[in-house]
Structure 1
Amino acid sequence: MSKKSSSNLYAVIDLGSNSFHMLVVREVNNSLQTVAKVKRKVRLAAGLDAENNLNQAALLRGWDCLSLFAEQLQDIPVENIRIVGTATLRLAKNVAIFLATAEKILAHPVNIISGEQEAALIYKGVAYTSSGQGNRLVVDIGGASTELIIGEQAQAKLLYSFKMGCVTWLNNYFADGKLNQHNFTQAIDAAKAVLNPQLEKYLTIGWNTCIGASGTIQALQEIMVAQGENEQITLTKLHCIQQQAIACGDIENLNIKGLTTDRKPVFTSGLAILTALFESLEINNMFLAGGALREGVIYEMTGLRASHNVRQQTVNSLMVKHQLDLGQAERVKSTALKAFDQLKMTISEDDTQAGPLLAYVSSLHEIGLSIDYKKAPQHAAYIIDNTDMLGFTKAQKQLLSALLINQRDELNLSLLAQQSAISYASALLLCRILRVSYTLALRRTDGTIPEFSLILAEENTLIITLPAQWLAQHPLRAAALASELELQAKHNLVLQVKEK
């Protein structure tokens, strides 16, 4: 008996210059659920000779990888499968030899897309999976090409594919394996020369946020978090990591805290290209994207539309899935945002995401109740830790988890210190706001939350002022506030409750 295929399954295979990827998703209620991800380092671009022909070893690496992917495709409808080839297959003169065997192995056609098509699909993937307001600059450093796109919401405005990548730059400027200032300078200057003809177009349009979508950016974020930094990529951090690399002497001995073994071969060449981008485009900071080319192809296949606010869509979906009390979520959120508005002048200017993240965590504060009341905060943190949340970075999820586990009962401030989405001081303040908001909303009824004012005084003293006689008239919440005062005092945090 033949197995019936699932029409709600979709697969995309990305034949990249450095790695081959397969992504399989299931469409559920107008959203996508990842069911399989497979990645293999093929380093196809490393197999290009001086005449741009792929050597036999590279061809075999590619075909061996596709043999692994082929089995998964057997149970997915033909119309739900896309296989795309990028920069190296665009360059290879003997691409027909590769394709003939590849298509036989996969039993599906391979579409070699242009650089512009690749850039457009990358932007689509970012638009569906990453947050950001206004113009966004999207950067994707591949093995043999680098795509730069400026767009707003789901619409790309300017896109270009540059003929440089981490594998080709490795071969051109780090072929001797040496990590020294000379090799880095040559690689950076060469990347700037490639960028220069298109530079003015990007600078003229401008952007509000910059998002990176590649293994190089993923590796950099892992390094920064491992080294106790926040997840923001800046030029200063790039220069620092470059010096760490130079101190290692050569690629074979590259040992940077946070850099995984599989990323080592092409990391320094990708770092050089990214440094050139930061310096040429005067990029202030960059964040990691939630998706790129593969996600763009998937969303194009499914026809799903991008949300104007990816993170809010994710939160709304979780609230429905876990059957949260929408009224109570709104009461706690509105109370928390009112408190935040009174205290926002004490928040660091760098912590621009503090307010939005407080809104999201307030909406989700009861998500743990879907498992059990007694340990609801711990359950809530577990759910967030183990849920794929489109639009949220890894560090932002870590902050949400830390806030949720600290929403009531005993405090565990070490979790707030471990996250890197915002400063510890800001995270601590959000935690205290959430706890007070939770307490004030205990009645779970509209119109029962009192008017209040909050002041953050010196030495972590938080002063809340309530209406006259309110504490006497509301003994349950008065007792809860008294208990909260004691819980915070255990950590040298002063909570003063006053009445007008």
Structure 2
Amino acid sequence: MPTDSPPLKDGDLLAAVDLGSNSFHMVVARYVLGQLRIVDRIKETVRLAEGLDGRGGLDPAVMPRALDCLARFGQRLRTIPPRRVRAIATNTVRQLANPQAFLMPAETALGHGIEVVAGREEARLIYLGVAHGNPPEPGKRRLVMDIGGGSTEFIIGEGLDAIERESLQMGCIATTRRFFADGKLTRKRWKEARTEITAEFQQFASAYRQRGWHDAMGSSGTIKEICDISVKMKLTKVSITDASLSVIREKLLEFETLDAIRLPGLSAERRPIIAGGLLVLDAAFTELGIERMYVSDHAMREGVLYDLIGRDREADPREDSIRALCDRYGVDAAQAARVEATALSLFDQAEAAWNLDADNRRQLAWAARIHEIGLAIAHSQYHQHGAYLVEHSDIAGFSRTEQQTLAALVRNQRRGFHLPSFDKLPDRLVANVLRCALLLRLAVLMHRSHDSDPLPVVELDVDGDELLLRLPRRWLEGHPLTRLDLEGEREQLAEIGRRLVLKAI
């Protein structure tokens, strides 16, 4: 199987699927002259966040409507190559104690893998979509806000680059359930809710105000609907202002229950959750000092499409993030390059027999470059320290799934295998990630001495769970420590049902 995917060409279709906490979205676009032309959009209100029980569980009653929606999306995606489709899950799936219990049937229904992204990565993708759809003025910063069902993202960016990113657990569904769970609406309850919400802004509001921005833009269905209300009430023409928001809030508080709310421009679909969304937006205007906010039709799903183009054009943000990790933790660049070269040489020899792909090759290369970042903490157990840093750092461009893959590779580069690190991965990825870990282990082992002298030709044949490694006899005799390490590696592999055969030639 070739490791390189064919580059994008005019006429190719790309698709992004956004499994939001309130709605699932799909957008299909055609790549034409370096740009995207949207050819199809589908949105379904699923209200996934309504199924959260507060203990990391998901109400089984929510599953059928989620899976039915994904099956319909899957039908539309059937003719698009998998490498051109990216499906992203956000806050609700992030909160699940066992996300795989949802993701496995969801991936089956959709027919594609689904990645879970952290809040700040979600924020980056939101900004990317808005910035492409509504380019900011050159040299001027913009604030972008997106109120989802379970979380709200705040981004300050310039051009196409996100400078500041924050994600708070205060979406329209989550906030409505938190403060108005019984459906009752009172001024006293609103005031108490505002006090709690305001406290959560303290962690970043001051820094955002100091950074400053030229204009503010909202990108979510909730903000669009509040803008529609403002326009229908003849408070504004194309935006939301602090004054119009105040009028809408006062009008809302005239109703005693959520079901009774009737506002011009408010849809029946949004009515049950508008109170929570308005509460968040109202607090944001006050705490961030927003005077006017315009609305964008673009959001995370468009950002995912442009991210796919960036990866195809070798403008992959993940490459910059890996370089940043290496710089931050003082990685020995020469040693990392040696390990990477050997790991990729082994990969190329095992690729066909193990059915490895381009994503596996990239992950192996990145893991080789950062395999020693744990040394910045301590030499003892540095592979464990490195895996923790990789899994829990904010790494732009990487989904949680991708970070957990990298963490599993770094964690298993030496010593005994830590199989629980593979349990965090989707089943569809485990076999190949484990195989890449075997290759990384061999590369790290053969460069243990940090010797700058080049290795001899290393030959590798793989057949299922068996690895046959061939090295020159004279070189092995001159490197007794490496030979001893290889014999020890044979024992480590045997413990997980793999067989390593070392042959001197």
User: Taking structure 2 as the reference length, what is the TM-score of the superposition?
Assistant: 0.58
Q: Secondary structure at the match of 2:204?
A: helix
Correspondence 1:143 to 2:152: no
Q: Which residue of 2 aligns with 1:190?
A: 196
What letter is aligned with 1:235? D
Match for 1:40 among 44, 51, 66?
44
The alpha carbon displacement at 1:288 in A equals 0.3
Q: Which residue of 2 aligns with 1:118?
A: 122
Correspondence 1:206 to 2:212: yes
User: Taking structure 1 as the reference length, what is the TM-score of the superposition?
Assistant: 0.58
Q: Secondary structure at the match of 2:254?
A: helix
The alpha carbon displacement at 1:90 in A equals 0.5
| Deviation readout 1:403-440 (Å, 9 max, x if unpaired) | xxxxxxxxxxxxxxxxxxxxxxxxxxxxxxxxxxxxxx
The alpha carbon displacement at 1:304 in A equals 9.6
Separation in 1, partners of 2:312, 2:226: 31
Separation in 2, partners of 1:139, 1:186: 23
Correspondence 1:74 to 2:78: yes
What letter is aligned with 1:198? F
Correspondence 1:264 to 2:271: yes
- Note the 1:10-21 alignment, pairs <5 A: 10-21=14-25
The alpha carbon displacement at 1:305 in A equals 12
Does the 8 Å contact 2:230/2:245 carry over to 1?
A: no
Instruction: Give the number of aligned pairs.
Output: 302
Separation in 1, partners of 2:14, 2:172: 29
Identity of paired residues, percent?
38
| Deviation readout 1:358-391 (Å, 9 max, x if unpaired) | xxxxxxxxxxxxxxxxxxxxxxxxxxxxxxxxxx
Q: Which residue of 1 aligns with 2:293?
A: 286
- Note the 1:51-130 alignment, pairs <5 A: 51-130=55-134
Q: Which residue of 1 aligns with 2:252?
A: 245
Separation in 1, partners of 2:297, 2:24: 18
What letter is aligned with 1:166? C
Separation in 1, partners of 2:195, 2:312: 40
Separation in 2, partners of 1:232, 1:7: 36
What letter is aligned with 1:173? F
Q: Secondary structure at the match of 2:62?
A: helix
The alpha carbon displacement at 1:254 in A equals 1.1
Separation in 2, partners of 1:48, 1:77: 33
Does the 8 Å contact 1:7/1:76 carry over to 2?
A: no
Correspondence 1:153 to 2:198: no
Correspondence 1:235 to 2:242: yes
**Higher mean Cα deviation, 267-276 or 55-64?**
55-64
Does the 8 Å contact 2:20/2:149 carry over to 1?
A: yes
The alpha carbon displacement at 1:154 in A equals 0.7
The alpha carbon displacement at 1:145 in A equals 0.9
Does the 8 Å contact 2:230/2:248 carry over to 1?
A: no
The alpha carbon displacement at 1:57 in A equals 1.1
Q: Secondary structure at the match of 1:251?
A: coil
Q: Which residue of 1 aligns with 2:3?
A: none
- Note the 1:95-494 alignment, pairs <5 A: 95-133=99-137, 134-228=140-234, 229-303=236-310
Q: Which residue of 2 aligns with 1:345?
A: none
Separation in 1, partners of 2:135, 2:260: 37
Separation in 1, partners of 2:134, 2:163: 17
Separation in 2, partners of 1:118, 1:111: 11
What letter is aligned with 2:123? A
Does the 8 Å contact 1:7/1:77 carry over to 2?
A: no
The alpha carbon displacement at 1:30 in A equals 2.4
The alpha carbon displacement at 1:220 in A equals 1.2
The alpha carbon displacement at 1:39 in A equals 0.9
Q: Which residue of 2 aligns with 1:407?
A: none
Separation in 2, partners of 1:289, 1:44: 24
Separation in 1, partners of 2:189, 2:30: 45
| Deviation readout 1:39-68 (Å, 9 max, x if unpaired) | 111111111113121110122221121111
Does the 8 Å contact 1:9/1:80 carry over to 2?
A: yes
Separation in 2, partners of 1:305, 1:160: 27
What letter is aligned with 1:194? E
Separation in 1, partners of 2:143, 2:218: 8
| Deviation readout 1:213-254 (Å, 9 max, x if unpaired) | 111110012112222232221122111111111223211111
Q: Secondary structure at the match of 1:261?
A: coil
| Deviation readout 1:70-98 (Å, 9 max, x if unpaired) | 10010111111000000110011131111
